[in-house]
Amino acid sequence: MAAWVDELGVEKLDFPYLQSTKSMVGHCLSGSGAVELVATALQIQHDFVHPSINTEDLHENIATLIPREKIPQQTINTSIETAIKASFGFGDVNGCVVLRQYNS
C-alpha cells in the first residue's frame, strides 16, 4: 500500500478508490486476471466502483496511509476516467494494466 501511495503521489483524501474483485468472485487462478480486467472495464463503462467485500477489518497500517472510505463497502456510483488493475500471482507473476475511458 505504501508503494501505491508513494507512486501515485497523492494526498490521503485524493487517493483513488481501491477495491478487490477477488473478494466477490474468489480465486480463479490463471483466469483471475481476465475476470478482473472485464470487471474493471465494466466499471468504467457503467460509472461505478464495486465494493470490496469482507474488508470490514482494515489493517491499521493501511488505515494510516489512506482513508477508510477509499475502500468501499458498497457500490459507489461515480464516473471513472482511468483505472489501474494490478495482479499479484504465484511465483512473482505480476502485472499491471491501465485502462482509460475512450471518448470518440
Cα(49)–Cα(41) distance, integer angstroms = 11
Q: What percent of the chain has pLDDT over 90?
A: 42
CB contact at 8 A, 62 and 33? no
Taking the alpha carbons of 25, 59, 61, 80 in that order, is the dihedral positive or negative?
positive
3-state secondary structure of 33: helix
Q: Residue 13 is part of a domain; what is its CATH number?
A: 3.40.47.10
Cα(81)–Cα(20) distance, integer angstroms = 18
Number of domains in the chain: 1
Instruction: Give tens-digit pLDDT for 37-82.
Output: 999 999 999 999 999 988 888 899 998 999 999 999 999 999 999 9
How many CB atoms are closer than 10 A to CB 72?
19
**Domain hosting residue 81, numbered range:** 2-100
Q: What band does 95 get if pLDDT is binned at 50, 70 and 90?
A: confident
